[in-house]
A = this chain, B = another copy of it.
């Protein structure tokens, strides 16, 4: 029985071999996986049925069981998703800089895989194929840890992936399934061997991971997004945007938690938006000024401005000005996605430059903040850090680059001293 560290090292070396395969070879591994999933869908469904039975017996939450349960059409979608990844363009080997520093001294900056990824997620066994596909596409090895309630499903899927890779040029060792919490804790400490951790799960879960590893973490804990409705605005349009941003998928990180309304438009706008939200069963919590205008609402308290409800609840605050809205957003927002509804382009400009967030939206729903909707073809996470990669991150987030400098004996001494050679710095 090999140790976890040995497994990680084997994954790393398998990933190094994977990185040398060309795009066609990586893609044919993906197509083999997609085919194997379709062919062995019964094995996946059988294992999953057992997981679901255990979950029911253990009295797990219905929502969790819903995410856990696979159906024939979900398994079909898993296979289709892997094929979609195969169709994306190759993220590695892209030359970003090509520059002559001097005659026959040429610098290139070329994208390459990060190495080994650690992806830790809750429930949703269908995530296994998607994550494995993205890792293989980008030339990375991956350690996958699913939720304990999905362990049989994950194991069945991992076995199918492994079998499919055995028929390809890719070593099955590039995809490893971890099954215990102890292994998760151990990999968080392996900052010499693992290059990126991607946590997918609740806010607390992500915060815990961030606080307990020195490995870079791609993801976000909170998604506290706002919509600000300015004084000059198309009210009906702003109502539609509010309802969509709150209700289209309330547990998503890009849903809004607080609606900010300019005082000058508050009476007219609130009169329209509140009934529209109520029809969708949204509980509204208003600031004192909102309550003056609409006395039958619940009152918001200070904690509401910094709460991500993940639910059909919306806080509303009336503000004096665009600046007051920006100050509120920069104080309470999580730098994810912030929207303004207005017909005043000067206000848009100020909002765009002064609000500190990955996404600045004008007259559209915050729910568009998503890698697929942005046209990235995949989303490996949404980052609320300020350093790139920021916002919805596609395959770009799974690669880094190396500088390659090729010469024919050049030394720096010749470019310094009293009669230094000069650099040409000519882009090729």
> Which residues of chain A in 370-423 are interfacial with respect to chain B, using CB atoms and an 8 Å cutoff?
373-375, 385-388, 390-392, 400-413, 415-416, 423
> Which residues of chain A in 205-254 are interfacial with respect to chain B, using CB atoms and an 8 Å cutoff?
216, 234, 237, 240-241, 243-245, 248-249
A357 touches B402 (CB 8 A): yes
Q: Known contacts being A387-B216, A412-B244, is A402 close to B363, with CB within 8 Å?
A: no
Say whether A131 faces chain B, with CB atoms less than 8 Å apart: no
> Which residues of chain A in 333-353 are interfacial with respect to chain B, using CB atoms and an 8 Å cutoff?
348, 352-353
B367 touches A237 (CB 8 A): no
Stretch of A26-34, A99-107, A176-184, A305-313 with 4 or more beta carbons under 8 angstroms from chain B: A99-107
Q: Which of B359, B364, B365, B408 contacts A402 (CB 8 A)?
A: B359
A299 to B296, CA, bound (A): 84
Residue of B nearest to A345 (CB): B406
B240 touches A409 (CB 8 A): yes
Q: Which of B364, B407, B408, B413 contacts A405 (CB 8 A)?
A: B364
Interface magnitude class on chain A: 35 or more
Say whether A195 faces chain B, with CB atoms less than 8 Å apart: yes
Q: Which of B20, B115, B241 contacts A409 (CB 8 A)?
A: B241
A190 to B360, CA, bound (A): 25
Say whether A114 faces chain B, with CB atoms less than 8 Å apart: yes
Q: Which of B99, B368, B413, B416 contacts A412 (CB 8 A)?
A: B368
A375 to B234, CA, bound (A): 49
10 shortest interchain CB distances as A-B pairs: A364-B407, A244-B411, A375-B425, A367-B412, A237-B409, A362-B406, A364-B410, A365-B411, A361-B405, A359-B403
